[in-house]
Amino acid sequence: MATEAVATQRRSPELRRAVTPWGSFSWGYSDVGADIFVGLGLVLAYAAGATNVAFLFAGIVYVCIGLAYTELAAAYPFAGGGPYFVLRGLGDLFGFIAGWAVLLDFTIDITLFAWSCTDYLSQLVPVFLGSAHPWVHFLVVLSLIVALCLLNVAGVRESTAFNGVVSALDVLSETCILCFGFLFAFRPDLLLHNMSVSWPSPYHLMLGTSLAIVSFVGLESISQAAQETYRPASIIPRTSVSLILTILIFALAYSNLALGMQPWHPILGAHGHPLQFWQIFPFNSDNQGKAVALLAAQVPYWGAIAAFYVPILGAILLLISSNSGVFGSSRIAYSMSRTDLLPSLFQRVHPRFRTPSVSVIAFCGLAVLTLVFAALPSLDPAALSVYGRLFHGERGLDFLADLYAFGAATSYSFVFIALIALRLTDPFSPRKFKIPLNVPVRFRGRKTSIPVLGVFGFIGIFSILLFTLMTHPIGRIAGPSWLLLGVILYIIYRRHRRLPYLRSQKHDWRQHQREILRTSGDLELLDEYEANLKAADEAAAREGPSQ
């Protein structure tokens, strides 16, 4: 069966390898780099004087996540990222659960960043403001989602070129904001003062930390583009490590700069939720989604220029992050379909553009449904009371961020387990990049190692998952409900196909690994893989008679 599947893959249209080294970096940066534009306001609103601590904890976990994805994507350069790694390491059911969770994440990504893109544009075009003109805001976000759907059907090369230019401009812009901010506005004494007088309660610190992970979600975009990247084993480690350092520096710098620029004035609203913590602007539904633009406008000298261009650049970066959501969800569905976790419909490739057009259209449609639910309280006042009773007054941006945090934490938890499992069960695949700090062990008579940072990363991300379930009413209800719905649909589909649904079907991972290494262009790694398999088979043959 596996051999027939490989032959079928050779005959059918495959994804085009059009992603360059800078394109690989920009795919990740366009997703992760935009997160600070959304996450900063959310975390400041709840973590207050401990905002930098929340970002530090989430940043440490993010480094472990990034290193795990780098190792796995370089070793297994197949479209789909985390769900594919979990499938290979833990089996079909867990692979589906991880994939279903990250599909939620990337579908929310489409809507969340299109929503925040419109928020940033409202800084210059007030008619886009959601609270004042809800229908205009809704229609603009809807139009952005439709446009991105068409762009991704047209092809990854066009999407990558779009990302690369804006990513370069944003790196330069954020660097200028931070340099001028720390040179002319930052006060270390004010940072310490704000941390002491505005330290949040344990509940709000957990809430802020769970939202801080939103600022680091998206590095897996690099691994999802691995099958469209030439020689991924060489390119992915370089681009991933560069991206990890860039995003970590920006997130920690922005959180400390915000605390060291202006005094804070805590004002609590209903249910003890903070409505205003910072003198620069109130963290309400109008301003919470455009914190970086408002922060940049307060920077001496540079702020006069930044006030005009940062809303535009931020909006464009958020738009390409939404674009990465379209790309990521379609590639995950494509990968899951090819391994019988989703119906074969999702692996159909457009004959002209060679993109997974069915997956692109399907998940953009789901993003539109998410948008309707998020925007419902502002569009229909009669729905606000019902929505408020269910979710304690959470608004559209909070609703999207809750689901985003839940999906990310769930998927990343499984990826860390899969990383350790693959180290034990598949020591043959060449790992051109390996996470530092490994403990050597023997498993089934073979020498391998356990990644210490992988264990710490799992503990950290599982803690954030618990924080999300404890502090997010929507994440606590809608997140597990999404997973339950997915498992039910998975069982129905597998029974229809007469495939095992609690066990894994038989996979010829050796032949599959040969195929993905061959098509990736890393032929020297294919030779190394064949040599490892031959040595292992010879060792097993020698041990067999003696036993």
Domain residue ranges in the chain? 2-531
Of 150-159, 202-211, 221-230, which gets the smallest average pLDDT?
Answer: 221-230
For residue 269, pLDDT beyond 60: no
DSSP 520: H
Q: DSSP 3-state assignment of 497? A: coil
- Residue 67, Cβ neighbours under 10 Å: how many? 25
Instruction: Tell me how far apart the alpha carbons of residues 207 and 46 are, in angstroms, rounded to a whole number.
Output: 7
Which range has the worst mean pLDDT, 33-37, 78-82, 309-313? Answer: 78-82
Q: What is the DSSP letter of 225?
A: T
Whether the predicted pLDDT of 147 surpasses 50: yes
Confidence band (pLDDT; 50, 70, 90) for 289?
low
Domain 2-531, classified CATH 1.20.1740.10, yes or no: yes
pLDDT of residue 27: 65
Lowest-confidence pick of 225-239, 481-495, 516-530:
225-239
pTM flag (> 0.85): no
Tell me which of 419-423, 437-441, 477-481 is least confident. Answer: 477-481
pLDDT of the residue at 198: 84
In whole angstroms, give the CA distance from residue 204 to residue 471: 8
Q: Average pLDDT over the chain, rounded to whole?
A: 80
The residue that leads in pLDDT, 228 or 108, is: 108
More confident: 170 or 132:
170
Tokens 């210059």 locate to 124
Q: What was the pLDDT predicted at 221?
A: 65
Distances 504 to 87, 89, 249, 286, 489 between C-alpha atoms, Å: 9, 11, 41, 48, 16
**Mean pLDDT, to the nearest integer, of 319-347?**
84
State phi, psi for 342 to the nearest 5 degrees: -135, 160
Residues 334 and 344: their CA atoms lie apart, in Å, by 9
Question: Tokens for 538?
Answer: 């010879």
Confidence label for 494 from pLDDT (cuts 50, 70 and 90): very high
Q: What is the pLDDT of residue 286?
A: 53
- The interaxial angle of helices 302-338 and 21-47, nearest 10 deg, is 110
Angstrom distance (rounded) from CA 545 to CA 444: 17
What is the model's pLDDT at position 276? 42
Q: What sign does the dihedral 91-431-417-337 (CA atoms) show?
A: negative
Query: Average pLDDT of 527-534?
Result: 90
Task: Check residue 228 and give its pLDDT.
Answer: 57
Q: Mean pLDDT throughout 461-472?
A: 91
Q: Cβ distance 95 to 415 under 8 Å? A: no
Average pLDDT estimate for 315-336: 83
Count Cβ atoms within 10 A of the Cβ of residue 421 and give its class: 0-12 exposed, 13-18 middle, 19 or more buried.
middle
| Contact status, residue 374 vs residue 111, Cβ threshold 8 Å | yes
User: Hey, which residues does 310 pair with through a beta bridge?
Assistant: none
